[in-house]
Chains A and B, each alone.
Chain A
């Protein structure tokens, strides 16, 4: 792999680090398998691209607007589940397919190129260093800021209430916590992060596309699983950090397998590689736990 490819992998890794943090919040903290992200990732991209191209909005503001749109999408999924009792997975799928049509409306077509339009990365031009070297640094800084923010939040009074709502809903209710409200906010935050990732992804690659959401849920989950199975994840800080490392490692694994010429894979095989990697990670996690049990069983 060339430096250019490695930096490119880091870029996508960091972008999907945001998706991984969202997946961590829904799957691990709230115990809510949220599939909305398949729609909120392209939603973020669509909102951001449409605002930049059509309305000449400042790219930072456009990215923020994308996050707000994701917030609303997550809120809607949680509302369908909490208020109307629709099964959590189904609620996510419903919102995701609805978003597919909405995204086409927002973009006025299946995609929205950002050719020659300003992005959040334009101001990196002034440093005399090639932009492609600075882009991963900016993305890394964004991910780091979100990581710190999420950690601080999860340690506040509301944050521990959200963790309790996911881990032990009945106890949480007995402690005066509105479990439904925690789901609404948790899913909204997770999807805001995912939509922000979509917005950044579109700006890195110069286009938003209606199909870019396919497999996002798997990538997010894969990052959480890969990260938390190879790094310690006892505390929230460790676990969230592991999610981001997992996202980068996952992208690296995909890039390496697509690069290995002898495998004969091409770019369109990326989803297949994803599915295989996730399946392997899950199997490894299971047999790893089994191995640890076997190793410790003999001890006094």
Chain B
């Protein structure tokens, strides 16, 4: 579903601040796979996700989504095939619009926008049902501005918005990191449920090794802009956080400082 071939991304090229964020990423993610991505700060996790989403364009290499070459497409042109949830709950929703209007925006991601009223009766009923399933009481607040919701509520709404329409790929950028543990767990459960029910292909970047191993079907570790570890199936099932740390040391030959990766 997603195929990355020899991807290179360099920031501030040709200046003293030149940083090679991605140095030759090759990755094929088949349809329906839920991939988790871990790595320390500066490993290139977020860059990789932004590069798939089109916020950052690859300097070299080829990005394919669903068989289409999207390497040179801007983020808004990739949006019909890819949806994403941001780390900051404020980013994924538009706070000056109502809940319903936000869903109308999401609706327009895969279907043409028109010069007609953005919100329709049938859309309202549909959104009401979907939001009610969250059990957060938001079904009675469809005309409230999203800015009035809490971070957790906004992230749950972002997730529902990202899974509106017939998009097949979901990109998650540490989307539970800014939430308290209980809300984070709720959003993560919701994520698993939505990905499973809709049969989505998903890529989740996370700081937490435990979360990376307990979520999805496959885990890759990035370091220094390269994939240094890739595990799926039984091999992954047998892994613990300690093993990952060990593997990391082995591959890199470097000592991993404790604070650069969360162990929980």
A contact residues vs B (CB 8 Å cutoff): 152-153, 155-161, 163-164, 167-168, 170-179, 234
Note all chain B residues with C-beta closer than 8 A to A177: 76, 79, 105, 108
Q: How far is the CA of A168 from the CA of B90 in the complex (A)?
A: 9
Asked if B252 CB lies within 8 Å of chain A CBs, one says no
User: How far apart are B3's CB and chain A's nearest CB, in angstroms?
Assistant: 21
Q: Which residue of A lies closest to B74 (CB)?
A: A173
User: How far apart are B123's CB and chain A's nearest CB, in angstroms?
Assistant: 11
Chain B contacts with A in 58-107, Cβ cutoff 8 A: 74-77, 79-80, 83-84, 86, 90-97, 101, 104-106
Task: Mark interface residues in B116-155 (1 if CB within 8 Å of A CB, else 0).
Answer: 1111000000000000000000000000010000000000
Q: Which residue of A lies closest to B95 (CB)?
A: A167
Q: Which residue of B lies closest to A179 (CB)?
A: B76
Query: Does the CB pair A156–B76 fall under 8 Å?
Result: no
Write 28 A-B pairs (CB below 8 A) sorted by A numbering.
A155-B117, A155-B119, A156-B114, A157-B104, A157-B113, A157-B115, A160-B97, A160-B101, A160-B104, A163-B94, A167-B96, A167-B97, A168-B90, A171-B86, A171-B91, A171-B94, A173-B55, A174-B79, A174-B84, A175-B76, A175-B108, A175-B109, A176-B77, A176-B80, A176-B108, A176-B109, A176-B110, A178-B76
Q: How far is the CA of A161 from the CA of B77 in the complex (A)?
A: 14
Asked if B2 CB lies within 8 Å of chain A CBs, one says no
Q: How far is the CA of A177 from the CA of B79 in the complex (A)?
A: 8
Q: Which residue of A lies closest to B80 (CB)?
A: A176
Asked if B222 CB lies within 8 Å of chain A CBs, one says no
Q: How far is the CA of A178 from the CA of B73 in the complex (A)?
A: 12
Asked if B195 CB lies within 8 Å of chain A CBs, one says no
Whether A158 touches B113, Cβ cut-off 8 Å, given contacts A167-B94, A173-B75, is yes
Whether A155 touches B94, Cβ cut-off 8 Å, given contacts A173-B76, A174-B53, A175-B79, is no
What total of chain B residues lie within 8 Å of the partner, measured CB to CB?
A: 35
Q: How far is the CA of A234 from the CA of B83 in the complex (A)?
A: 29
Note all chain A residues with C-beta closer than 8 A to B117: 152, 155-156
User: How far apart are A270's CB and chain B's nearest CB, in angstroms?
Assistant: 34
Query: Does the CB pair A173–B91 fall under 8 Å?
Result: no
B contact residues vs A (CB 8 Å cutoff): 53, 55, 74-77, 79-80, 83-84, 86, 90-97, 101, 104-106, 108-110, 112-119, 145
Q: How far is the CA of A227 from the CA of B55 in the complex (A)?
A: 38
Q: How far is the CA of A4 from the CA of B79 in the complex (A)?
A: 57
Query: Does the CB pair A170–B91 fall under 8 Å?
Result: yes
Q: How far is the CA of A155 from the CA of B114 in the complex (A)?
A: 11
Query: Does the CB pair B97–A164 fall under 8 Å?
Result: yes
Note all chain A residues with C-beta closer than 8 A to B119: 155
Q: Which residue of A lies closest to B79 (CB)?
A: A176
Note all chain B residues with C-beta closer than 8 A to A158: 113-115
8 shortest interchain CB distances as A-B pairs: A176-B79, A157-B113, A173-B75, A176-B109, A173-B76, A164-B94, A160-B118, A157-B118
Which of B95, B110, B113 has the most CB atoms of chain A within a 10 A radius of its CB? Answer: B113
Note all chain B residues with C-beta closer than 8 A to A174: 53, 75-76, 79, 83-84, 86, 92
Query: Does the CB pair B75–A156 fall under 8 Å?
Result: no
Query: Does the CB pair B79–A159 fall under 8 Å?
Result: no
User: How far apart are B257's CB and chain A's nearest CB, in angstroms?
Assistant: 31
Q: Which of A153, A161, A170 contacts B105 (CB 8 A)?
A: A161
Note all chain A residues with C-beta closer than 8 A to B108: 157, 161, 175-177
Note all chain B residues with C-beta closer than 8 A to A153: 115
Note all chain B residues with C-beta closer than 8 A to A168: 90-91, 93-95
User: How far apart are B158's CB and chain A's nearest CB, in angstroms?
Assistant: 9
Note all chain B residues with C-beta closer than 8 A to A173: 55, 74-76, 79
Note all chain A residues with C-beta closer than 8 A to B115: 153, 156-158
Whether A172 touches B118, Cβ cut-off 8 Å, given contacts A160-B101, A161-B113, is no
Q: How far is the CA of A179 from the CA of B75 in the complex (A)?
A: 10
Q: How far is the CA of A168 from the CA of B113 in the complex (A)?
A: 18
Q: Which residue of A lies closest to B76 (CB)?
A: A173
Q: How far is the CA of A164 from the CA of B113 in the complex (A)?
A: 13
Q: Which residue of A lies closest to B115 (CB)?
A: A156
Q: How far is the CA of A177 from the CA of B93 in the complex (A)?
A: 14
Q: How far is the CA of A163 from the CA of B115 in the complex (A)?
A: 14
Q: Which residue of A lies closest to B92 (CB)?
A: A171
User: How far apart are B195's CB and chain A's nearest CB, in angstroms?
Assistant: 18
Q: How far is the CA of A158 from the CA of B118 in the complex (A)?
A: 8
Q: Which residue of B lies closest to A155 (CB)?
A: B117
Q: Which residue of B lies closest to A176 (CB)?
A: B79
Note all chain A residues with C-beta closer than 8 A to B97: 160, 163-164, 167
Query: Does the CB pair B55–A163 fall under 8 Å?
Result: no
Note all chain B residues with C-beta closer than 8 A to A152: 117
Q: How far is the CA of A158 from the CA of B92 in the complex (A)?
A: 19
Note all chain A residues with C-beta closer than 8 A to B95: 167-168
